[in-house]
Amino acid sequence: MLVSDANISVQDTMFCLLTWNVGFCGLSKEMDFFYDGGKMVRPTYESSYANLEAIRRFVQQQDSVDFFLFQDIDMKAKRSYYLNQYDSIAETLSFTAACIGINYNVKYVPIPLYEPMGSVLSGIATYSRFIPDSCVRYSYPGNYDWPMKVFMLDRCFLVSRYPLSGGKQLIVVNTHNSAYDDGSLRKEQMKFLKDFLQAECRKGNYVIVGGDWNQCPPGYDTERVTKGIQDDLELFPVEDPFIPGWEWTYDITTPTN
């Protein structure tokens, strides 16, 4: 965990969060990614670096954001030309505490055969204006069958705990659930996450969850999307209600998950 010199504790009652799968700074509009049926494995170095710099400029302008929850952020990977994106953004957000949960640590990814992805060290990162008591990675249950599991992500969520008055805690969870499976892994992961969240609530803690769910929130309506969506997109909705009494917040006009 990286921590700035400022010892800032949680005293507010309202918070602003930004959650963003930055796609290893490689999935900009010119990218034709092979996992989505395209032919490209990584962008050019110039594009990768430009994307990272654009992300840095953007987050630097977000003065009202208290927590940044990022997914698919590389520390050392061939696909992103070994640029340490995690450290780079931490340096940009110099006022923050930063922690990362590694979910992709493979020495050599052999696919696609025509241009193997190679080595990957990547994860999910939480940056905040406040200093957490702890930041802990929790592994999701379930995995792909061998040999695919050797080369796939080890899905997880990252839990940051911030002390509050009265002995309670603010729990901020950064999650990145499975993609490209038949839905069975996501179902198992969501049950595990649900049990964890409810246990924290029973302790009297306050809980916020954000991330890349790789599924649609309850009540998501494609008819209200105004910024483009693939006609053949397969939607995986979260069960409704996921946890009774909890509130989902998302942009109803943009197809993100």
| Domain coordinates in residue numbering, the chain | 2-6+15-214
How does residue 4 score in pLDDT terms, banded at 50, 70 and 90? very low
CATH class of 2-6+15-214: alpha beta
Q: Look up the pTM and report it.
A: 0.90
The better pLDDT of the pair 31, 157 is held by 157
% the chain with pLDDT above 90: 57
The better pLDDT of the pair 186, 181 is held by 186
Would you list the DSSP string of the chain?
-EE-S-------S---EEEEE-GGG--STT--BGGGT-SBSS--HHHHHHHHHHHHHHHHT-TT-SEEEEEEEESS-GGGTT--HHHHHHHHTTTSEEEEEEEEEEEEE--STTS--EEEEEEEEEEESS--SEEEEEEPS--PPTTHHHHS---EEEEEEEE-GGG-EEEEEEEE---SS-SHHHHHHHHHHHHHHHHHHHTT-EEEEEEE-SSBPTT--GGG--S---TTPPP-BPPSSSSTT------TTS---
pLDDT above 80 (res 83)? yes
The better pLDDT of the pair 83, 42 is held by 83
What gap in Å lies between CA 159 and CA 101, rounded to an integer?
9
Q: What is the pLDDT of residue 1?
A: 46
% the chain with pLDDT above 70: 86
Q: What is the pLDDT of residue 50?
A: 96
Q: What is the pLDDT of residue 6?
A: 44
Q: What is the mean pLDDT of residues 114-131?
A: 93
Q: What is the mean pLDDT of residues 24-42?
A: 75
Q: Of 30-34, 135-139, 186-190, which range is least confident? A: 30-34
Q: What is the mean pLDDT of residues 110-124?
A: 89
What average pLDDT does the chain have? 87
Q: What is the pLDDT of residue 5?
A: 46
